[in-house]
Structure formats: C-alpha cells, structure tokens
Structure 1
Amino acid sequence: MARLRHETILIVGASSGIGAQVARDVAGHGNRLVIVARRAGELAAVAADVRAAGSPCLDIVADALDPAAAAAVVARAVAEFGAVDVALLNVGQGPDMSMAEVDVADVARVMSVNYDVTVNYLVPLIAQLRRQGGGLIAQTNSLAGLMGIPRQGPYSAAKAAVRTLIDAARVELSPEGIRFTSLYPGFVATARVSTDGLPKPFQISEKQAARHVVRALRREPADAAFPWPTATLVRLLRVLPARVSDVLLRKLAR
C-alpha cells in the first residue's frame, strides 16, 4: 500500500485540473514529484507550488502522444530520483460527439488521446517497476468507460479499452509486486469542460475529485468510482434491461 510519504510520485497530465490539484495535495511529507504536461507555463506554476510545499519537483514538458517522449520521461524520473514508486496517468479527454456527425478521423483521434497516451506511459512504467521490484500505477479512467454514454460514444469506447487493458495487467503483474488502481470519476468541473455543452449531473469540483484520487492512491483499490451519486446511477444503468436504460440515457443526454 502506498503511504504517499517519502515516495517518488510521477503525475502525467499535471498542468491543470485533477492532476495539478493532486500534485499540490501530495506535496511535502518527504515526497519527490515528477510532473508532466504539454503546457510549460502552467506546469511551471504547479511545480512552484509543489516546491513551496517542501517537495523536490522535476517538471517535464512532453507530449503524451509521443511514445519516445513518454519513455524518456520515465527514464528521467529514475535518473533523478532512482525509482518511480507511484505513477498517476491522468491523461485523456472526452469531447461532445454525436455519432450521427462524427467521421472516422474523429473517432481515431479520441482513441489516440485516451488509449494511446495511456499505453505510451504504461509500457515503460511496467518495465521500470519490474526492474525495481514493484510499485503502483493509477490511471484516471471515467464512469463513461463503464458503459456507452450518449454524445460520448468514442470516449466511452476508448476508456473501456483502457479499462480492459489495465484489468489484464493487474492480474498478470500482481506476482511481481506491480499494483494497479483504476479511477472512475463522474463529471468534474474543470476549465476544459466548462463550455462543452454536455449535461453534468452530480458534478464535483477539482479539489473534491483530487481528494478522492489521493484517498485511492493510499488505499489502492482495484477500482475507485466517485462521486457516489453518479457511480450509483451508472451501476444501476448497467444492470437494468437495455430497453429501460436506453430510455433513461436518452433523457439524461437531453
């Protein structure tokens, strides 16, 4: 179990939103942080907050879509701090997409920014954690990854693919001390989604979401879904007959 004390913590997607808030929340306590994102200015601001809280912080500007860049991030983290104890892969996005209007390129792009970016970090992290004898990999999925959500079909599909991959890795790599936690947030009030037009029942703040994430990093459940009203609604929709859940989903989408 991760104590989140005196550990090296890698956070991918840390320039804003949940990733940035988690970085601030775990700073101090003897932790060493490696934070990664594409936006240099925003990332530097988060790094400054982390250092002010007492943690050494390596901030790396990198594009998660580039597998070589992702592998280089893991290598730099190890060169700087000797190991990666906890990794949070907080990458991806879910734009509003109607299946009546998308083209093939739209769907492929959503798959890239949700599935490919996770794989680009997952593979080198697994290799590193095998060398060092274990560690925790947490991945920010979505409650949309548990079922097909109207207006988010490509996103739901991409997150479902990540969920399946992580589940398989958990079983395979447990004997080597590599642990996995999949995080399933509902709607979170980040700047990126504030104007996307999607209905957002039971939306929570970035700070609330980060508290759920940090709790999960400490406890290491296989799956952590939050907040409970949205998670309960999704669980209910998954067990209802399709003719009933389809009607409810159409109403929620409107």
Structure 2
Amino acid sequence: MEQKIVLITGGSSGIGKSIGSYLVSKGLKVYGTTRNLEKYPDFKAFNLLELDVRDPKSIEVALKALIEKEGRLDILVNNAGIGITGSVEETPHEEILKAFDTNFNGPLHMAKAVLPQMRRQKSGLILNITSIAGYMGLPYRGVYSATKGALELVMEAMRMETRGFGVKITSLAPGDYATNIASGRYHAPVLENSPYEEAYSRTLTLMNEGVEQGGNPMEVAQKVWEIIKKEKPKVHYKVGSFMQKFSLILKKLLPDKVYEKLLLNHYKL
C-alpha cells in the first residue's frame, strides 16, 4: 500500500503539530506549513514548508514543490487559524477582515489549490479544523464564531459539488484544548469607560482559563486519524469535553432564548 502524503497548514505548533506527530507515528508522510521557516531551525517532528494561507502565490509555490517531490497529495488538513476576541462594535474592522482572511479565505484558498491534483488522482481528503464555537454566536467571540461557522457552511457546499471527483471533504470542530492560541489571539483592547469594559474583561478571563484548562490536543489528532481511516466520512465531526459537545445538542433542542440564557449565565453576563 502506497504511503499517504499529508499536508497540514499551521503545522509548526499547537493542534497542527500534534496532528502531524500522531500521523507520522501511524506511518503517514507529513508536511506541515508555517509562514516563516526561519523561526523553526530545529523542528524535527516532520517536514515543514513555508506557506502563507492568505497568499495564493505562496500556496502555489509550496504545493508545486510538494507535488514535484512526492507526485501526489492524499490529505489536506486545513488547520491554520487565528483567535480574535472583543465586542463586535469595538473590534477594529481591519482585524475582523484579517481573521476572515486566515480562518475562512485561507482554508478556501488551500482547498481550491489542491482540488485539481486530487481530481487527477481521483482521490483525496480535505479535512477542515473548525471549532465548536462556529456553531453558535459566542459573546465577545462573535467574529471568531462567524469565521468558523462560515467555513463549515462553504465546505458543506464544496463537498456536494466535488462528490463525483473521488474527493472527500469533511470538517472537525474541536472544543477548548491546551494550546498556544491564547497568546497569539488578537484581543480588541479593553477600553476605559467603554460600555463593554466590565463584561468583556470578565469574559476574557473566562476564555483564557478555558484554553489553559483545555484537553490534550492529542485527542484532536486521534480523531483526525479516525476520520482518515473512514471510507465515507460524515459531513461534520466534533471533539471536546462532554459539556462542549452536549451544548450543541442543547442548541438544537432548546428554544433560542432559553439557549441564549444558558450562554449568558455561563459567561456571567
């Protein structure tokens, strides 16, 4: 059986690195991406390519090098993403656009770039790492929720459009995991005398505690491996704590205002 070739965006740290390391242990050949190779001179977990998901030219160059070397690409894991917090009103719009550029446009650029190769092969898997936050509008994380929710929806459409090509598309939504996302997240500043000042400060503390107390990102890696092995992946998968996954069931079952009240209570708003 031919060794599968995997490309993971945002593979140099966090969930991406965990996924890559786990897949290497399962015998797959893994390439990760980073925007700046110079930052990782001693990285040895798997191969790293310089690629910026926001830049189609950068994607083209990296993919060309990969295909020339390996002759194929079996699996794309769209993992690169950034966090963003703040009230919708007070988040600078340029930061909102940056978040969409990485979290939505980036995975879309990648999927569009790999499809011709996968179509030629008559096989391939595009697996998008989204977020449980993408299933609900979370206070002070509304922009992040929107980027991930939009990605889920566009990939639902692309999955149906490409079903005759032998290409499989699915999305995996993790809950909170202990990674470095909080340190790299854009925080809209807590503005003195802002009407959101007290509530946003409190919510920010809760969000950061959630990441710090999150699960082991290897759980996400193991779920990715489970999905890779499936002949017919589902449209959506979730991974996270019981309560995080149960919150999605409650959202389907409860009236909107009741569910909204649960969120307000959770964030002490």
The 5 A counterparts of 1:35-54 are: 35-41=32-38, 43-46=40-43, 48-50=44-46
Aligned partners of 1:37, 1:103: CA distance in 2, in Å? 26
Aligned partners of 2:133, 2:161: CA distance in 1, in Å? 25
Which runs of no fewer than 5 residues in structure 2 stay unpaired?
Answer: 186-203
Out of 174, 186, 191, the residue aligned to residue 175 of structure 2 is: 186
Q: Please tell me whether residue 232 in structure 1 is matched to residue 243 in structure 2.
A: no
Out of 218, 233, 237, the residue aligned to residue 229 of structure 2 is: 218
Out of 19, 22, 41, the residue aligned to residue 22 of structure 1 is: 19
Tell me the matched-pair count.
243
Question: Deviation of residue 49 (structure 1)?
Answer: 2.5
For 1:27, what is the secondary structure of its paired residue?
Answer: helix
Aligned partners of 2:24, 2:11: CA distance in 1, in Å? 13
Runs of 4+ in 1 over 6 A off after TM superposition: none
TM-score in terms of structure 1 length: 0.87
Q: Please tell me whether residue 121 in structure 1 is matched to residue 114 in structure 2.
A: no
Provide the residue aligned with 1:159 in structure 2. 148
**Percent identity between the aligned chains?**
25
Q: Which amino acid aligns with 1:98?
A: S
Q: Which has the larger radius of gyration?
A: 2
Provide the residue aligned with 1:112 in structure 2. 101
Q: Please tell me whether residue 245 in structure 1 is matched to residue 256 in structure 2.
A: no
The 5 A counterparts of 1:76-155 are: 76-155=65-144
**Structure 1 residues 188-230: Cα deviation after superposition (integer angstroms, max 9, x where no partner):** 1102226963152882122222222222222333211012511
Q: CA RMSD in A?
A: 2.2
Q: Which amino acid aligns with 2:266?
A: L
Question: Deviation of residue 19 (structure 1)?
Answer: 0.8
Which runs of no fewer than 5 residues in structure 1 stay unpaired?
Answer: 51-56
Aligned partners of 1:162, 1:6: CA distance in 2, in Å? 29
Q: Which amino acid aligns with 1:222?
A: V
Tell whether the 8 Å contact from 1:12 to 1:35 is kept in structure 2 after alignment: yes
Aligned partners of 1:74, 1:244: CA distance in 2, in Å? 47
1:205/1:28 CA distance change after superposition, 3 Å: closer
**Structure 1 residues 62-100: Cα deviation after superposition (integer angstroms, max 9, x where no partner):** 221111111222222111100001111101122222224
1:84/1:240 CA distance change after superposition, 3 Å: same
Q: Please tell me whether residue 13 in structure 1 is matched to residue 13 in structure 2.
A: no
